Amino acid sequence: MDITKIIKTIGNPTPYDKGTDMMWTDKHISKFLLDAHINPEIGVASRTLKDIDKTVDMIDKMVCLGSEILDLGCGPGLYAERLSKKGHKVTGVDFSKNSIDYAIKQRGKNQSTIEYINDNYLNLDFEGQFDFIMMIYCDFGALVSEERISLMKMIHKALKPGGIFLFDAIDEETIERLNFNSSWEISEGGFWKPTPYICLSKKYHFKENKATLDQHIVMGEDDSYQLYRFWNHYFNQEDVEKIFRPIGFSKVESIKNLLTGSGPYNDHGVVFYTVSK
């Protein structure tokens, strides 16, 4: 293994350096992610059922009965199924085939009418179809600036006049609670690979970009390695208004202290924003 090459590849990343691999489409990792999504005891890939229900109840109060809802990054359909049961027409989109396949099976069991799409939501092209578009679990912050602009334009086009976009994000106080350090893991087979590996992880903070980076380099027995980089951003109300108003959105409101789980993506540090067309 060429350690010097690896050091040059991963050392001192700058915004917004990309990784070499993506876990959402990896056959092995995506199975672990699905298990984490549907496990009601933990709030890792999804939130606890209590907080999911609270979020769904909040959304249901924002829209009229029978509203058309688009769930971006819907995962295995935990929110979509609940909103469908409340009488809404739901479309769910997710990049992970495992998650969409699971959601489709649940749709059959529940005899719901949800439409599921296995695709990158940045590729969508709807026009004036939806009353409400949602993006949950801080996914909006995971996008870099160019991706956010493309997404906002797509959402603005897809919403009906007066429609609402809801997303959540971590706040500035949450960043103060995070530890930006390094760690390592040795495994005979686990989350990152079914075969033995060493994983070196490091978290970075780029204050000038209001961005964080979780970086993981996974080294296997065959001298190969995979580099995973996960960017995220934190916002305040002023930030959200500045990025949405130029796209044509008229009103921004925030909802705080909805969640009761633990961890920076599951607790009071998460703020929900509604942006109206």
- pLDDT for residue 39: 78
Backbone conformation region of residue 263, classed left if phi is above 0, alpha if psi is from -120 to 50, else beta:
left
- Is CATH 3.40.50.150 the right assignment for the domain spanning 27-171+234-276? yes
List, in sequence order, the alpha helices (H) in the chain: 3-10, 27-38, 49-62, 78-85, 97-110, 145-158, 172-177, 237-244
What are the start and end residues of each CATH 3.40.50.150 domain in the chain?
A: 27-171+234-276
Q: What does the pLDDT average to over 189-198?
A: 94
pTM over 0.85: yes
The tens digit of pLDDT for each residue in 215-239 reads: 999 999 887 889 999 999 999 999 9
Residue 201: predicted pLDDT:
95
pLDDT for the residue numbered 144: 93
List the strands of the sheet with 130-135, edge to edge.
115-118, 89-94, 68-72, 130-135, 159-170, 270-276, 251-255
Are the C-beta atoms of residues 133 and 163 closer than 8 Å to each other? yes
3-class DSSP state for residue 156? helix
CA-wise closest residue to 168 among 210, 140, 147:
140
What is the rounded CA–CA span in Å between residue 218 and residue 201? 9
Residue 44 CB neighbours (<10 A): 15
| Best mean pLDDT range from 28-42, 65-79, 212-226 | 65-79
